[in-house]
């Protein structure tokens, strides 16, 4: 039967797959917990099954430390329910809270990816249900995509003026969420009047920016090139796209959806707003605040 099979360790090349038997209800909860998490996005069916099989359910209470800074990396965690705070202590200074996690959040990948000590302490602030993935399964299935993407975007993101003030780890998280999209000469990337659902950074190539006024007259705005970004206004203000952006020759952009834009670019939102004032009127500007 299926369940008997799934309890027997499967020999695949040089290692034994971790299989922790689960009810359908648990599998359903894992699916909900990892849905929308970029680290799991490009798994094929077999990889997905291996990940679900290997996950262990872990319940923690408020105040409990799930990860201790400096400790050895054993598990990667996904949050099903609850909330946790993350603390970092640097240069012998007292630990400061740097971020927090709620449902669908994930943490603990760094020590597993880089064979490094835990970079932060993660403490539950509520009763939590977590799914823990062992180091071997994490490295075998989730690490390749993650480190490939981080490597791919790392050098580029360091050069994007908007993002220089971020911590390296914050840029890592942006890399996880980026998707590259390519356009041919004259392709329309975003269209004036459309509802905006993504933010763009130019990886290579150039783009034209055109606005059409109320009399139907087109105005050519200053163009965009590598490292420039666009598409932020509609995400900041929920207003339709204010300009059309068109590829000028081959154009490659890294895009971020609306939700990750809000979550990951929070620390630079003030810079984005300040820059936006270059092309907004006063009354539009105050609507961004």
Provide, rounded to whole angstroms, the least separation between the CB of residue 119 and ligand 1OR: 3
Round to the nearest angstrom and report the end-to-end CA distance of the chain. Answer: 60
Shorter beta-carbon distance to ligand 1OR: residue 136 or 288: 136
Scan residues 115-144 and list those touching ligand 1OR (CB under 6 A).
118-120, 122
Provide, rounded to whole angstroms, the least separation between the CB of residue 37 and ligand 1OR: 13
109 is a site residue for ligand 1OR (CB under 6 A) = yes
Maximal C-alpha separation, the chain: 71
In 3-state terms the chain splits into helix, strand, coil percentages (rounded to 5) of: 35, 30, 35
86 is a site residue for ligand 1OR (CB under 6 A) = yes
Shorter beta-carbon distance to ligand 1OR: residue 70 or 249: 70
**At 287, is the secondary structure helix, strand, or coil?**
helix
95 is a site residue for ligand 1OR (CB under 6 A) = no
169 is a site residue for ligand 1OR (CB under 6 A) = yes
Provide, rounded to whole angstroms, the least separation between the CB of residue 248 and ligand 1OR: 36
**At 177, is the secondary structure helix, strand, or coil?**
helix
Structure tokens at 200: 């763009």
Provide, rounded to whole angstroms, the least separation between the CB of residue 91 and ligand 1OR: 11
Q: What is the helix (H) or strand (E) element at residue 246, kind and residue range?
A: strand 244-257
Interacting residue with ligand 1OR among 49, 98, 152, 268 (CB under 6 A): 98
Asked if residues 157 and 175 have their Cβ atoms less than 8 Å apart, the reply is: yes
Q: Give the pairing of strands 11-12 and 15-16.
A: antiparallel
Distances (CA, A) of 164 to 5, 64, 113, 148, 276: 51, 35, 24, 21, 18
279 is a site residue for ligand 1OR (CB under 6 A) = no
84 is a site residue for ligand 1OR (CB under 6 A) = no
User: Which residues share a beta bridge with 124?
Assistant: 84
Interacting residue with ligand 1OR among 18, 54, 84, 111 (CB under 6 A): 111
Interacting residue with ligand 1OR among 37, 99, 145, 237 (CB under 6 A): 99
Q: Report d(CA 253, CA 1) in Å as an integer.
A: 48
Provide, rounded to whole angstroms, the least separation between the CB of residue 48 and ligand 1OR: 21
Residues at the interface with ligand 1OR (CB under 6 A) = 67, 73, 86, 88, 98-99, 107-111, 118-120, 122, 167, 169-170
């Amino acid at each position: 039967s299926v369940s008997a099979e799934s309890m027997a360790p499967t020999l695949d090349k040089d290692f034994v797959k971790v299989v922790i038997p689960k009810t359908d209800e648990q599998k359903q909860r894992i699916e909900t917990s990892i849905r929308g998490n970029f680290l799991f996005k490009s798994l094929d069916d077999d990889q997905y099954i291996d990940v679900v099989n290997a996950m262990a359910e872990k319940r923690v209470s408020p105040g409990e430390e799930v990860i201790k800074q400096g400790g050895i990396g054993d598990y990667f965690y996904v949050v099903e329910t609850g909330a946790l705070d993350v603390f970092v202590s640097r240069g012998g200074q007292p630990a400061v809270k740097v971020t927090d996690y709620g449902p669908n959040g994930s943490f603990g990948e760094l020590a597993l990816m880089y064979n490094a000590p835990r970079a932060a302490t993660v403490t539950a602030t509520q009763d939590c249900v977590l799914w823990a993935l062992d180091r071997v399964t994490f490295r075998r299935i989730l690490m390749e995509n993650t480190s490939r993407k981080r490597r791919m975007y790392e050098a580029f993101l360091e050069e994007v003026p908007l993002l220089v003030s971020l911590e390296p780890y914050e840029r890592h998280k942006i890399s996880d969420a980026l998707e590259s999209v390519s356009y041919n000469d004259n392709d329309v990337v975003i269209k004036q009047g459309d509802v905006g659902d993504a933010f763009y950074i130019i990886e290579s190539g150039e783009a034209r920016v055109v606005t059409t006024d109320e009399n139907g007259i087109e105005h050519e705005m200053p163009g965009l090139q590598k490292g420039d970004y666009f598409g932020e206004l509609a995400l900041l203000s929920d207003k339709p796209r204010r300009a059309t952006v068109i590829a000028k020759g081959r154009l490659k952009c890294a895009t971020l959806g609306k939700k990750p834009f809000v979550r990951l670019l929070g620390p630079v939102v003030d810079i984005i707003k300040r820059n936006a004032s270059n092309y907004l009127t006063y009354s539009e500007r105050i609507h961004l605040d």
